[in-house]
Amino acid sequence: MSYETLNLKTPSPVLSWAGHQLGDLESKMAQNVASLPFVFKHVALMPDVHLGKGALVGSVIATEEALIPAAVGVDIGCGMMALQMPFTGDRLDGKLKTIRQQIEAAIPVGFNENKNVETSVTNWMGWRQFKDLHRGVARLEGKALKQMGSLGGGNHFIEICLDEDNNVWLMLHSGSRHIGNMLAQYHIDTAKELAKLAQIELPDRDLAYFVAKTPEFDAYWRDLQWAQDYARFNRKVMMDRLKRIVEQQVAGGKPLQPKLVVNCHHNYAEKEVHFDREVYVTRKGAVRARENDYGIIPGSMGAKSYIVKGKGNAESYCSCSHGAGRLMSRSKAKKSFTLDDLVAQTDGVECRKDKGVIDEIPGAYKPIDRVMAQQSDLVEVVATLKQVLCVKG
C-alpha cells in the first residue's frame, strides 16, 4: 500500500499517493472537495498532485447525483496518444531535424489552426451532434473544424521516443482546443450563477456543481461527452499526420502497422461502477487504470515517460497519475532557469531551445522516477521511453 489517509477533518476521507506532505493551499483544496455532501466514499490524490482551480490537479473524485464542471477543467478530454512503431531507432539516424521541421509545418501549434480542413475531419460523425449544441457554441463550428488536428499550447507536445529495446514510439499530448474551453467556461459560469441564485454556501466558488436530472446537468453532460470525443479524435488526426511524416522518412511512404495503440484521457468524467455503486468519476489530471487498461504517463521534454498497464486498484477508483506534475509555476520557472539550463536539460533531444519554452524545462517538473515509485500498486510499467524529438505547443 503506497497511499496514506490525510489528517483532514472532512466527511469523506482523502487518500493520497503523493508520498509527501501537502502544502497548506493543497491541503485546503483537498479539504474543500472532500467536504462536499455528494462526494462518494473518499477522494483519491495521485502521486503528481498539485494546485489546480477548485480541485487539485491529480484528483480522482467520485460523486453521486452531481458533477463539478471546474473539477473536470477547461481542457475537456485532454489526454495522450502513443503508437509503438515496428522499427528501431537506427532508422531515424540523421533524419530528426527534417522530421521536426515537417511536423511543425503539418501540425499547427499554439493558437494556430489548419488552413485547410481535410476529409477525415469533415466526415467526423461528431459534427452531426454539433448542431444540437446551444447557439453560443454552434457559432464556433468553423473554428472547431479548423482546430481539429492542432496541438495547442502550454504543456502540449508531440514526441518521438525510444524504449529500452530501441523501439520507436510516436507520442502526443493534447485536448479539445478552443471549443472545449468555451464549453467548459459556459457551464462553469452557469453553475456559479445557479449557486448564487440558490444561495448555496460553497467552500470555493469554483466548486459550483450541477445536480443530476436537471436541465443544466443534462446540458453539461451532453457537451462534456461531445468535447471528450472531439479531443480523442483530435489526437488521432494529429497522430495520423505524424505517422505519415515518419513513414515517408523511414519507409518511403509505405504505411506501417503499429504494434500497440494507446489513446487515453486524463481530464474528464464518466459513469463507472465502484464499490458496487454507479457513480460519476471525475479524473482531473489522472488516467483510468482498470486491470489491463493501457495508459501513458509522460515526464517532461527531457525526462523519461512510461507506457503502463493498470492494476485495477479499487481505492484509487482504478486510476493513476497523468504525468510528473509541476514542481513550480510557469512564472517561477522562467525566473529560476536560464537558456543554458534548458540546453543542458534537453541535451540529446531535437527540440526548440529558446526562451519561449523555458517554462516547460524538465526542472520545473517533479522527478518522474519518484512519481512512478509511488504508484507501483496502481500500474505496472510496460515500456520506459526517452524522447529523441520534441515539438512543444
Binding site as annotated, residues for Mn(2+): 75, 156, 173, 266
Catalytic residue among 50, 187, 265, 322: 322
Q: What DSSP letter does each residue of 92-136 carry, written as one string?
A: GTTTHHHHHHHHHHHS--TT---SS--HHHHT-THHHHHTTS-HH
| Residues that constitute the known binding site for GMP | 155-159, 266-267, 298-301, 305, 322-325, 392
Q: What is the Cα–Cα distance from 97 to 184, expressed in whole angstroms? A: 37
The three cell numbers locating residue 272:
463507472
Residues whose CB falls within 8 Å of the CB of residue 380, separated by 6 or more in sequence, listed in order = 308, 309, 311
Annotated catalytic residue 322: yes
CA distance linking residue 280 with residue 65, whole number of Å: 8
CA 167 to chain centre: 24
Task: For residue 274, give Cα distances in angstroms to 2, 66, 315.
Answer: 20, 16, 9
Q: Which residues are annotated as a binding site?
A: 75, 155-159, 173, 266-267, 298-301, 305, 322-325, 392
User: Residue 265: how many CA atoms within 13 Å on its side-chain side?
Assistant: 24
C-alpha cell recorded at residue 221: 453532460
Q: Which of 263, 328, 319 is nearest to 300 (CA)?
A: 328
Query: For residue 128, how far is the Cα from the chain centroid?
Result: 26
Q: What is the β-pairing status of strands 267-274 and 39-50?
A: unpaired
Find out whether 385 and 157 touch, Cβ atoms under 8 Å.
no
- CA distances from residue 218 to 52, 224, 255 in whole angstroms, order as listed: 25, 10, 42
Catalytic residue IDs: 322
